[in-house]
Amino acid sequence: MTGLSASPAPTAVATTATGPRHVAIIMDGNGRWAKRRFLPRVAGHRAGAEAVRVTVKAAADMGLQALTLYAFSSENWRRSSEEVSDLMGLLRHYLRKEVAELDRNGIRLRTIGDISGLEGDLIDLVRDGVERTKDNRRLDFVLALNYGAQDEMVRAIRDIALAVRSGAMAPEDIDPTTIEARLDTSDLPPLDLLIRTSGERRLSNFLLWQAAYAELLFVDTLWPDFDGKALAAAIADFGTRERRFGGR
Ligand code: FPP
């Protein structure tokens, strides 16, 4: 398809006509979902894990390039030891059960965050899942595990400081590209759309650098009720946005 003479004059404003390539979600509201049903919090997280399964499949079917989910933040360790252990148990269960299905669906599992802070067997499960799916290209499914954007930036800045101290880099060489190259997301497409469920309007230390020009969408749906239809609605909303990237 060329149609050179018929194509509209190029403008400086990027529109969202092509749809988002990279969507990230702050999965919030598991606890409230459970509370409304007089169930323990773990039941909400369990239902949340099912919503993860369904949404990842839908994202691949819709042709997204990357879906990043905030599964466990570097601050979530402050929750009760019972809840932390429930979340780790669910993650363990999910990886044991779903990696084969991800692989069958052509989905590549990846992570961002400092996974060295997880329990040893979980680190192995994550590494095995990443290794097993590494040649898949349909969708990058990125689990944020022990992730915090400030921690990510601290790690990147330390790396740059070491390069400067060793003489490999001059302070004047530091620019957004040198920083981006050291973030956990360095080989993912730019973040287009950041969704938070459950009506809260905060970024909670998620992808702070990457969100600089992302479209933000806050939906009231509690995470366990999120599904392919909700993802399609979010993508349709994104399609109505006019992206300027600081231009006019
Ligand atoms: C927030 O709900 C959600 C989390 C703390 C983490 C998300 C975890 C899952 C979806 C389950 C496991 C994930 C995988 C990948 C298997 P909340 O407890 O803060 O909800 P509340 O604000 O209503 O209390």
pLDDT digits (tens, 9 = 90+) for 108-161: 999 999 999 999 999 999 999 999 999 999 999 999 999 999 999 999 999 999
Residue 15 lies in a domain: no
Cα separation, 13 vs 156, in Å, equals 31
Q: Is the pLDDT of residue 4 over 60?
A: no
Cα 108 to chain center, whole Å? 13
Cβ < 6 Å from ligand 1: which residues? 27-32, 45, 48-49, 52, 71, 76, 87, 90-91, 94, 143, 198, 223
Pocket test for ligand 1, best of 26, 30, 39, 99 (most atoms within 8 A of CB): 30
Which atom number of ligand 1 is nearest to the Cα of residue 93?
A: 16
Q: Assign 184 to helix, strand or coil.
A: coil
Tokens of 247: 């231009």
Quote the ligand 1 centre to 214 CA distance (angstroms): 23
Residue 11 lies in a domain: no
Determine contact, residues 61/73, Cβ cutoff 8 Å.
no
Determine contact, residues 105/140, Cβ cutoff 8 Å.
no
Residue 247 lies in a domain: no
pLDDT computed for residue 1 by the predictor:
36
Q: Assign 25 to helix, strand or coil.
A: strand
% residues pLDDT > 90 (the chain):
90
Domain of 206?
22-238
Which atom number of ligand 1 is nearest to the Cα of residue 87?
A: 12
If you take atom 13 of ligand 1, which residue's CA is the nearest one? 49
The domain tally of the chain equals 1
- When pLDDT is averaged across residues 168-186 and rounded to a whole number, the result is 97
Quote the ligand 1 centre to 108 CA distance (angstroms): 22
Q: DSSP H helical segments within 16-80, as ranges?
A: 30-36, 41-61
Cα separation, 25 vs 234, in Å, equals 11
Cα separation, 144 vs 147, in Å, equals 5
Please provide the average confidence, as pLDDT, over all residues in the chain: 93
Residue 102 lies in a domain: yes
- Looking at the DSSP bridge assignments, the partners of residue 196 are 26, 218
Amino acid identity, position 179 = I
Tens of pLDDT, residue by residue over 24-58, are 999 999 999 999 999 999 999 999 999 999 999 99
Q: Is the pLDDT of residue 2 over 50?
A: no
Q: Is the pLDDT of residue 7 over 70?
A: no
CATH number of the domain enclosing 94: 3.40.1180.10
* Host H or E run for residue 22: strand 22-26
Question: Under 8 Å CB-to-CB from 220, ≥6 apart: which residues?
Answer: 197, 198, 199
pLDDT computed for residue 100 by the predictor:
98
Length of the chain: 248
Residues taking part in catalysis? 28, 76
pLDDT computed for residue 246 by the predictor:
83
* Host H or E run for residue 103: helix 81-104
pLDDT computed for residue 160 by the predictor:
98
Cα 183 to chain center, whole Å? 13
Determine contact, residues 234/193, Cβ cutoff 8 Å.
yes
Cα 129 to chain center, whole Å? 17
Half-sphere exposure of 86 (CA within 13 A, CB side): 18
pLDDT computed for residue 11 by the predictor:
41
Cα separation, 155 vs 162, in Å, equals 11
Of residues 14 and 90, which shows the higher confidence score?
Answer: 90
If you take atom 24 of ligand 1, which residue's CA is the nearest one? 31
Residue 1 lies in a domain: no
Quote the ligand 1 centre to 12 CA distance (angstroms): 39
pLDDT computed for residue 219 by the predictor:
98
Tens of pLDDT, residue by residue over 179-238, are 999 999 999 999 999 999 999 999 999 999 999 999 999 999 999 999 999 999 999 999
Residue 141 lies in a domain: yes
Residue 195 lies in a domain: yes
pLDDT computed for residue 6 by the predictor:
40
Residue 191 lies in a domain: yes
